[in-house]
Amino acid sequence: MSPDPAPQTLLDKIWERHLVRPQSEDAPAVLYIDRHLVHEVTSPQAFAALKARGLRLRRPERTFATMDHSTPTVPFAAHEQPPYASEETRKQVAALEENCSAFGITLHGWDSPHRGVVHVMAPELGLTLPGMTVVCGDSHTATHGAFGALAFGIGTTEVGHVLATQCLLQRKPKALRVTITGRLHAGVSAKDMALCVMAALGAGGGAGHVIEYAGEAVRALNMEERMTLCNMSIEAGARAGMVAPDRVTFAWLKDRPHAPRGEAWEAALEDWRTLHSDEGAQFDKEITLNARLMAPMITYGLSPDKAMAVDSITPQPCSALEREALAYMGFTPGRPVMGEKVDVVFVGSCTNGRLSDLRAAARILRGHKVAEGVRMLVAPGSEAVRRAAEAEGLDEIFKAAGAEWRLPGCSMCIAMNGDMAQPGELVVSTSNRNFAGRQGKGARTVLASPATAAASAVWGEIADPRAFMEVPCVA
Amino acid sequence: MSLDAMPLKPFKTLRSKTLVLAAQDIDTDQIIPARFLTTTSSAGLGQYAFYDWRFDETGQPRNSDPLAGKDPQAHRILVGGANFGCGSSREHAPWALKDYGFAVIISSRIADIFKSNALKNGLLPIEVEAGIHTDLLDNPGCELVVDLEACTLSRPGHWTHTFSIEPFGRRCLLEGVDPLAFLQKCEADIARFEARHA
Ligand code: SF4
């Protein structure tokens, strides 16, 4: 009888399945990529490299493209040209259209009912399945790990490698398990959980690692919430984040356009049920957090790990740099930030642009108005999210409150398409990065959940969403 | 066209002065703001490197930033605070730094995707231990010698430090090996893998 195989992590299992060649001292592993997602910003130079070498796409059927980053979100009529912010953005999108048609890639462009932010639209189509390797020239590819896939962002040179060979040269990352025990209180969301994890790990705390999120609190999340959690993994420097697939995952995937059907579905389920870290599997690093201690969070500094409970006070800076970051934000050490005047509120992005996010914001806005002097933008994550939101009247709630209801796209998350804040403006944003200038030169970004963003819009100040909910305020 | 088209210019040694950007967590949005990513080429991005540090809201040079008045050709080694290059996967960040004039990036920790992107563009990322890092942060403009063959970084007259670097990335830089050509030579293995998983 052969001895029991050594217990494996989920990462080990997916890694092993995709080895074309194992790594050696001299060379990284050759890793097979199941799914490649492409968008307009990080692909043109990769297509150019292929053309320069006279290469074709190895697996067009494994490659899907959409346009989201520099595409306008201002609604326009069917006979009009999309209102691009500049000639360059128009050309960049046109280049993607040309490249997709030249190389035979399915593009979910302006005429597709599935167009959207790449990390929102791909899972909706069932393009991300448990056990897959998924890559995209975008660091928030970690989102897809919510399905128990190994999904990570790559640079443009590597985009070219995958286009040409469907493979990547990779060293195996280390495994980091983040276990979250207990249950979240009402009024506390997956975004708050993600910000708590970032605060615990620090901006570089996950470097070199793939995070596996585990524990009761993670199991209790639905798929949209798991995507929010995995999405932020890169903000701790981790290459990827993942959650082992379970019944919640399978129920969500069933009957999605690209999910297996019939007998193939049954066979897939049987296989997917093996995709979890074995009892006793060794992780290179582990941390445990308690969901019961989590509150609605906001950021106060210039990286996503500088996060704290919305009702607490900013810490005393420990260095000149931290002092400068607080000064940039216009916050005083040792003071609350609740009550700080807000100029712009953004709800959207691959972190919080899904239907449940829009519902959470709408629940707070219903019957209220966006405060005088505050501009609020809501950009659904995809056309599917937009349709679903409009079908249940969420757009009407936003518009009645005085918010702008936009087309799907990255919008103010990256501020490439003309949607941006002015210098000095304070933005409460449901996106994932509060780097200096991320939302416009000189703009100040506070990251928060959709509920906190909506509450801040109504109040005109950074606000605790629990004030709008029938939930006890537990500190 | 040959498979080995477009190899990088080999990198062996460099002697240059450092330019120190001491801030921690210098993210890719600082290295090149997103609004300059609308290009479809990778050339000429150096003008946008650290743009918002170098220019004010009206596009006027600030002249107060750490890059002001430093000749890029004389300061080809960038020393950054911990966790340099965090944030997005944009390869525009190393493209911009390379085009600006940098050839080497040193920090106590360099973000994973940035590190991988840098190596692929002939920009050498070197991670050093805390003591060396502190010395470099404390002595902006000091002269360093980088020897990739020996994997040493030295500050002449002060210290020599051996750094470690992913061996394949090192070979690509030293010999100008092209990773895509390497992958293409794995064709038989890739085809076998696909047949097995069809
Ligand atoms: S929404 Fe933001 S983080 Fe997500 S893909 Fe778009 S730009 Fe990147």
How much is the ipTM here? 0.91
Helix (H, G, I), strand (E, B) or coil at B33: coil
Q: Tell me the one-letter amino acid at A437.
A: G
Read off the pLDDT of residues A77-97 as tens digits, 9 standing for 90 and up.
989 999 999 999 999 999 999
Q: Is the pLDDT of residue A341 over 60?
A: yes
Q: Is the CB of A454 under 6 A from ligand 1?
A: no
Q: pTM score, two decimals?
A: 0.94
Q: Is the pLDDT of residue B1 over 70?
A: no
Nearest to A203 by CA among B181, B183, B83: B83
Cα angle A358-A232-A124, degrees, rounded to a multiple of 5: 50
Q: Tell me the one-letter amino acid at A140.
A: H
Average pLDDT over residues B34-60: 91
Average pLDDT over residues A361-388: 98
Which tokens is A133 given? Answer: 């390797």
Read off the pLDDT of residues A198-208 as tens digits, 9 standing for 90 and up.
999 999 999 99
Please indicate whether, in this complex, the C-beta atoms of B88 and A153 are within 8 angstroms of each other: yes
Q: Are B172 and B8 in contact (CB under 8 A)?
A: yes
- Any chain A CB within 8 A of the CB of B25? yes
CATH number for domain B13-196, candidates 3.20.19.10, 3.40.47.10, 3.20.20.150, 3.20.20.70: 3.20.19.10
Read off the pLDDT of residues B152-177 as tens digits, 9 standing for 90 and up.
999 999 999 999 999 999 999 998 88
- Any chain A CB within 8 A of the CB of B167? yes
Q: Is the CB of A128 under 6 A from ligand 1?
A: no
d(CA A324, CA B63): 18
d(CA A4, CA B139): 56
Question: Which of these ranges, A318-322, A365-369, A453-457, A463-467, has the smallest mean pLDDT?
Answer: A318-322
d(CA A394, CA A362): 6
Predicted pLDDT of residue A225: 98
Please indicate whether, in this complex, the C-beta atoms of B189 and A21 are within 8 angstroms of each other: yes
* Strand ranges for A97-239 from DSSP E: 106-108, 133-136, 150-153, 167-170, 174-181, 209-214
Q: Which of A154, A414, A441 sits opposite B89 (nearest CB)?
A: A154
Please indicate whether, in this complex, the C-beta atoms of B183 and A52 are within 8 angstroms of each other: no
Average pLDDT over residues A21-36: 96
Share of chain A above pLDDT 90, in %: 96
Question: How close is the Cα of B153 to the center of ligand 1, in Å?
Answer: 37
Q: Is the pLDDT of residue B3 over 60?
A: no
Question: How close is the Cα of A433 to the center of ligand 1, in Å?
Answer: 9
Q: Is the pLDDT of residue A472 over 70?
A: no
Q: Tell me the one-letter amino acid at A443.
A: A
Question: How close is the Cα of A87 to the center of ligand 1, in Å?
Answer: 21
Q: How many CB atoms lie within 10 A of CB A355?
A: 22
Predicted pLDDT of residue A10: 98
Largest CA distance in chain A: 75
- Please report the number of interchain residue pairs, chain A to chain B, with beta-carbon separation below 8 angstroms: 179
- Any chain A CB within 8 A of the CB of B60? no
Q: Are A158 and A192 in contact (CB under 8 A)?
A: no
Q: Are A201 and A191 in contact (CB under 8 A)?
A: no
d(CA A191, CA A205): 18
Q: Is the pLDDT of residue A475 over 70?
A: no
d(CA B61, CA A380): 38
Average pLDDT over residues A175-204: 97
B121-150 residues touching A, CB cutoff 8 A: 121
Average pLDDT, chain A: 96
Q: Which of A54, A165, A203 sits opposite B83 (nearest CB)?
A: A203
Reported as a pLDDT band with limits 50, 70 and 90, residue A234 is: very high
Please indicate whether, in this complex, the C-beta atoms of A49 and B6 are within 8 angstroms of each other: yes
- Cα-based distances in Å from A113 to A63, A105, A151, A282, A388: 18, 17, 24, 44, 12
Q: Is the pLDDT of residue A64 over 60?
A: yes
Cα-to-chain-centroid distance, residue B30 = 14
Q: Is the CB of A447 under 6 A from ligand 1?
A: no
Q: Which residues of A touch B55 (CB under 8 A)?
A: none
d(CA A436, CA B58): 17
Q: Tell me the one-letter amino acid at B178.
A: D
Helix (H, G, I), strand (E, B) or coil at A142: helix
Predicted pLDDT of residue B5: 42
d(CA A436, CA B82): 17
Q: Which residues of A touch B189 (CB under 8 A)?
A: 20-21, 30
